Structure 1
Amino acid sequence: MKKAALYARVSTGKQAQADLSIPDQLSSMRSWCEQNGYEVVREFIEPGASAMDDRRPEFQEMIGEACDSHRPYDAIIVHSLSRFFRDQISLCSYERKLRKNAVVLISITQLTADDHSGELTRRVIAMFDEFSSLENSKHTLRAMRENAKQGFHNGSQPPFGFDVEEVEIIGHKKPKKRLVVNQKEAEVVRSIFSLYIEGSGGLKGVASQLNGRQVLRRDHAWSTTTIHHVLTNPIYRGERLFNQIHWKSGTEKPEGEWVRTTIEAIIDPDVFDLAVKKLKQRSPAMSHPRLVSSPRLLTSILKCGVCGARMIAATGKRNLYHYYKCSTRIKKHLDLCTSRPAPMEKLDQAILEMLADRVFTPERVAAHLAERRQNNGKGATLSDLTKQLEAVRFRLANVYRAIENGIELDDVFRENLAKLKQQESDITSRIAVYEQSPQALTDSIDKAEIATFCSLLRQQLLDTSRSTTKELLQLLVSKIVLNEDHVKITGGRVPLAGAVKLAAQKKKLSTPHEVLNFNKGWRPRDDSNVRPLP
């Protein structure tokens, strides 16, 4: 008697939980085998797996056994070819692979001849199965996109930090799902952002600290991958994305196909952006890992003033002395660059003192903020908006007084009243936008706050014993060009105004990342910082 393996499959977990389709498939296949002289030796059941690809554990195990030299069975029995595959090319490929190992594929509801005409028939059936699957997928995705646009959750497992809440909708038989913040998990998410931004251990350090404190991710240990996912998932800043990744290829879809909706934020957007910026800075694609972790202060930002190449750490006289040397001279040839090595300790100290004593002084910071105020002051100021609002409200008060006195309300009167109300609403909105803008933050900073910030920053820069000094320097400075007789420092896009305000409020500059809340270069002008302000 010939031996056979049965393969049953449904596409979704819900179908498997219903416990109807798979038992029916197995019952029909067992009955067919009994009637046609096949002995069932194995049954493979695939609950909730798509037939558009071969990423199915039971399927792969079955194919592996069928192609084994011992050949444990002569045929694979399926209820229909769509249970085996819904992709024509893949179906033909696997069917030929089975035939090479003397194993036949039989569909009990689509019996075909074992010749060329039968093969053609199976290909046509496979084409229709594939077309049907693609059409179903298209309509399902359309419905899921609309569900996401309405603010509901697609899927079963919510992201960490959220729970699923069922919502009854009038006209719908089944309740819809909505994400709500899980306060206990949200605290863990906030801890992850805080540990990563303020710490120096990177993703692994955050995962290690959480696991060491037995703070788990739904009974699972944290890893660098899961920490990275939390730090980069925009849902935590209040922006939920759907249809961003293609489910089959894993590639990102065009942005026009994404569905963006808002949700209650767990992390402030500025804090989220700060974490993402640090991730990019520490990324191997941006900086070599050795440069990020190196204790040498100026590696990755120090450039040769002669040839423009990066200057790297080097030693001399039995490793007793340390220098910065041009990488061109070290890696290519001494004659290709005429620059001289710079004593590491002296240059480090000189750069830090220059930043502390000549760059980030109260005068320079005040000059930069004054320039910001001047640039931002091209539009209406808060004083102008306040005066406009007072004038509109005065006119509205007169209108309301006239109404109380019994004035006749004609169409012109109503139109003027509507215009005044609209003006009041527009000006109020502009004031609200201003109060949340960088300009409002800059305008509110006084000399005492600037002095506090500069004092705290100076202490941080000159205290080289701190592990964060290098990280702070890399945030403040984008490039240092070393010439024979002078040094040119180029500033990065450091958010200075927010740092000044925050440091003044806390009376503390606890992390180098507190200089990241503004979006303009810190230098008042585009030349070197060597010269003092005139």
Structure 2
Amino acid sequence: MLNIPKVAQYARFSSDNQRSESIDAQIRAMNQFCKQNHWQVVSTYTDEARSATTDNRPQFQQMIADSGKGLFDIVLVHKLDRFSRDRYDSAIYKKKLKKNHVKLCSVLERMDDSPESIMMEAVLEGMSEYYSKNLAREVMKGMNETALQCKHTGGCPPLGYDLDENRHLVINGQEAQAVRIIFRMFADGYGYTTIIEYLNAHGYKTKRGKMFGKNSLYEILSNEKYTGVFV
């Protein structure tokens, strides 16, 4: 009787310029690969907007746990960097898979047990970690330059401000009234509860149009942008 390998597919995309369509493309390529090799796909695990520089990925952890239940023989990824971009994590989890008699395979990187494949896999893992760390460094460099130009570095602008076409903060007159009240009352010694009750009673809203609470008030009072500091 022919022993058909059982496969668990793992797909992932991070938040850096990728979308959910990336997972669809990965799964499509893996399905085609399994069909060509006459492998049986028994499960698919996906993590969306999760970086491979960390193992804090729910579906990834579930897959590793399931590998010890004899549910599949192979974990298949589109590329090895979908599995991990951290050499330490990669070594740990590949060892766990091996202990559970599960093999890690990649659609684009064909590896076997030869010495050459071991060397090539180490190089690929090193390049993946380099790419991730270098990308983080370049992103931080760009954000620092943006801050030095007194431009907004991302996310929702603080209450009391809007953005112009050059991403400079410009005062929103209506929202600014709430900001002035907050800092004036806080400077006069009023506590969070009193300030919140006053703002909500007079119809003021947060930047997202919600009623004020302790968290939203803390974010405003601790935001350095109100002192002219760009971070």
Kindly provide the amino acid, as one letter, of the partner of residue 27 in structure 1. Answer: R
Partners of 2:64 and 2:83 lie apart in 1 by: 14
Provide the secondary structure at the position in 2 that maps to 1:53.
coil
Q: Which residue of 2 aligns with 1:61?
A: 59
Contact 1:67 1:101 in 2 (8 A): no
Structure of higher CA gyration radius:
1
C-alpha spacing 1:209/1:10, structure 2 compared with 1 (3 Å): same
Q: Which residue of 2 aligns with 1:26?
A: 27
Kindly provide the amino acid, as one letter, of the partner of residue 11 in structure 2. Answer: Y
Alignment of 1:359-438 (within 5 A): none
Cα distance, 1:221 vs structure 2: 4.8
The match for 1:227 among 198, 217, 221 is: 217
TM-score (norm 2): 0.78
Provide the secondary structure at the position in 1 that maps to 2:221.
helix
Matched, 1:188 2:178: yes
Give CA-to-partner distance per residue, 1:306-355, whole Å, 9 cap, x none.
Answer: xxxxxxxxxxxxxxxxxxxxxxxxxxxxxxxxxxxxxxxxxxxxxxxxxx
Q: Which residue of 2 aligns with 1:41?
A: 43
Q: Which residue of 2 aligns with 1:144?
A: 143
Give CA-to-partner distance per residue, 1:413-463, whole Å, 9 cap, x none.
Answer: xxxxxxxxxxxxxxxxxxxxxxxxxxxxxxxxxxxxxxxxxxxxxxxxxxx
Partners of 1:161 and 1:100 lie apart in 2 by: 57
Q: Which residue of 1 aligns with 2:18?
A: 15
Cα distance, 1:44 vs structure 2: 0.8
Cα distance, 1:132 vs structure 2: 2.2
C-alpha spacing 1:39/1:231, structure 2 compared with 1 (3 Å): same
Contact 2:73 2:103 in 1 (8 A): yes
C-alpha spacing 1:221/1:131, structure 2 compared with 1 (3 Å): same
Cα distance, 1:160 vs structure 2: 2.9
Q: Which residue of 1 aligns with 2:195?
A: 206
Partners of 2:203 and 2:189 lie apart in 1 by: 19
Cα distance, 1:67 vs structure 2: 0.3
Structure having greater relative contact order (Cα 8 Å, sep ≥ 6): 2
C-alpha spacing 1:123/1:41, structure 2 compared with 1 (3 Å): same
Q: Which residue of 2 aligns with 1:50?
A: 51
C-alpha spacing 1:214/1:141, structure 2 compared with 1 (3 Å): same
Contact 1:66 1:73 in 2 (8 A): no
Provide the secondary structure at the position in 2 that maps to 1:240.
coil
Sequence identity, in percent? 29
Partners of 1:125 and 1:40 lie apart in 2 by: 28
Kindly provide the amino acid, as one letter, of the partner of residue 172 in structure 2. Answer: N
Q: Which residue of 2 aligns with 1:424?
A: none
Cα distance, 1:235 vs structure 2: 0.9
C-alpha spacing 1:225/1:132, structure 2 compared with 1 (3 Å): same
C-alpha spacing 1:229/1:10, structure 2 compared with 1 (3 Å): closer
Q: Which residue of 1 aligns with 2:8?
A: 4
Partners of 1:222 and 1:115 lie apart in 2 by: 62
Q: Which runs of 5+ in 1 are unaligned?
A: 168-176, 243-534
Alignment of 1:248-397 (within 5 A): none
Partners of 2:31 and 2:197 lie apart in 1 by: 52
C-alpha spacing 1:211/1:83, structure 2 compared with 1 (3 Å): farther
Q: Which residue of 2 aligns with 1:437?
A: none
Q: Which runs of 5+ in 2 are unaligned?
A: none
Give CA-to-partner distance per residue, 1:86-108, whole Å, 9 cap, x none.
Answer: 22112212322333444433221
Provide the secondary structure at the position in 1 that maps to 2:156.
coil
TM-score (norm 1): 0.37
Partners of 1:182 and 1:93 lie apart in 2 by: 52
Kindly provide the amino acid, as one letter, of the partner of residue 154 in structure 1. Answer: T
C-alpha spacing 1:71/1:148, structure 2 compared with 1 (3 Å): farther
Partners of 2:7 and 2:210 lie apart in 1 by: 43
C-alpha spacing 1:119/1:233, structure 2 compared with 1 (3 Å): same
Cα distance, 1:216 vs structure 2: 3.8
